[in-house]
Structure 1
Amino acid sequence: MLIIFGILIILACVLLGFFVLIQNPKGGGLSGALGGVGNQVIGVRQTTDVLEKGTWILAVLIAVLCLTAPFFIGKGGKAGQTLAPSAVEKAGAGAPMPQAPATPLPGTTPAPAPAPGK
């Protein structure tokens, strides 16, 4: 499901970039450099309206997709768990830490016990 969200977000970002590059706040932009076909069919005013509405729609779509995508991440995991169990085991976090021996090794002298009262 996250792959679908990712593809939709990337597609919307590319389209949004295209819409922004076509527009020019002073009226020219690339829409006039595309042969003027769009201007002959629907006129300059309608072209800028469509591009502006498309920009807002794509911006809202990206925001909604980004805000809803986290709801589909990792259902059923333990709270606070950020790594997959196999990744934790590979890192060695699942292995017990070695403990110091309870009895001194042969040939070594035990450390003196601390004095009482200190």
Structure 2
Amino acid sequence: MPSEPLMILVAGPYRSGTGDDPAELAANVHAMNEVALHLFRAGHLPVTGEALALPLLETAGGAAPGTPLFDEIFHPVAERLLARCDAVLRIGGPSAGADRMVRQAREAGLSVFTDLGHIPSTGSPA
């Protein structure tokens, strides 16, 4: 049975295991965006904290991961975004930040998915 479209936060590693290498950070963002595209085509509204936080960081003058400006913006954006979401899809490998999003989602009573195949279809692709 088709479900209503969900706003789903895609939570995965951004910095974990990258040594903050720009190419690896970009690869992690790309992996989240690939999954987000799949969710969009399934009729949902996918979001990532990176899609909002990274442009804000650039506008604020740029900030390397781990700097005070990065810490001020990066995870707080995802936390504020999570408060508006219906669910979280946890992807990828180890990530303290993504695990925090999952923990907060569960505490808020949101659905948490760890497999793209377990997300209900809306019955109407985008």
Smaller-chain TM-score range?
under 0.3
TM-score for the superposition, normalised by structure 1: 0.27
Structure-2-length-normalised TM-score? 0.26
Q: Which has the larger strand fraction?
A: 2
Structure possessing the higher radius of gyration over alpha carbons: 1
